[in-house]
Amino acid sequence: MTEQRVLIRRKGPTCTLTLNSPGKMNAIDRDMIQELQAALGALKFDRDSRVVILEGAGGHFCAGADLSVLGSGINATEAHAVMTQISGLISGLRELPQPVICKVRGAAYGGGANLALSGDLVVAAHTARISQVFVNIGLTLDCGGTYFLPRLVGMARASALALLGDELDGGTAAEIGLIYKSCADEELDGKVDSLASVLAQKSPLALSVIKKGLNRSLSMTLNEALEWEAAQQSILLQGEEHKRALLALLQAKRKKE
């Protein structure tokens, strides 16, 4: 019986997805693709799960695509089909209505690094190892690296990361703005759980709309962004989530006074 490649754990409003192929540093194979696709498809309509955490089992996040799947014996057409499936995972994570926190320990190489960057917030251990390793094995960026890197760190740093294939630790990745935050390894679980708890208390609809706006932002002109914001805000202002949040805020303010 094949071992489950993606473990799903729900605790209150948080759903944790764990990449589960520790013997291969959680490299992405066909079984993992299928299981992740199924999990993301279900989460898209799961109103009870308000925050998603993505992590890796066995001390590593993800070593990228399993090259034994994409290596010898596979032609270009077959390789393209597999890469299209992997790319679908990136789109699926970006399109989830829930905020996605990627918890990075150990290695996040190549496509694994970019899988992490597809999350909304990346929190890594100081000792995490993050690398756009592609150039070192004669490949180009995939899993959205071409899209994410310039947007996160600017063209100069993106070029250096992609062309040199150097490895960054979690602390350096946070310092240059590649990821949200870095912390000591022993603090990582607590930091991520605390962040998930904060997000779970916010309006799910507002979080979803904010995600959509940020994802579209760099393809819109200022006028287009203003028009989109006005349309979305006019809807949210009529919603119960806004009214409840505003009431709670006013009540908390009165208590302080």
Question: Of the candidates 53, 45, 46, which has an alpha carbon nearest to the alpha carbon of residue 7?
Answer: 53
For the residues 96-111, what does the mean pLDDT come to?
98
pLDDT value at residue 51: 98
How remote is the C-alpha of 256 from its chain's centroid? 37
pLDDT value at residue 247: 87
User: What percent of the chain stands above pLDDT 90?
Assistant: 84
Mean pLDDT score of the chain = 94
**Residue range 187-244, pLDDT digits in tens:** 999 999 999 999 999 999 999 999 999 999 989 999 999 999 999 999 999 999 999 8
Q: Is the pLDDT of residue 30 over 60?
A: yes
d(CA 178, CA 116): 10
| Span(s) in the chain for CATH 3.90.226.10 | 6-200
Higher pLDDT, 68 or 20: 20
The CA distances from residue 139 to 73, 90, 114, 235, 238, in Å, are: 18, 19, 14, 45, 50
| Span(s) in the chain for CATH 1.10.12 | 204-256
pLDDT value at residue 2: 65
Q: Is the pLDDT of residue 73 over 80?
A: no
Confidence of residue 71 (pLDDT cuts 50, 70, 90): low
Give the SS3 label for residue 142.
coil
For the 6-200 domain, the top CATH level (class) is alpha beta
List 62's β-bridge partners, or say none: 108
pLDDT value at residue 72: 62
**Residue range 129-150, pLDDT digits in tens:** 999 999 999 999 999 999 999 9
pLDDT value at residue 216: 92
Q: Is the pLDDT of residue 1 over 60?
A: no
Identify the CATH number of the domain defined by range 204-256.
Answer: 1.10.12
For the residues 149-170, what does the mean pLDDT come to?
98
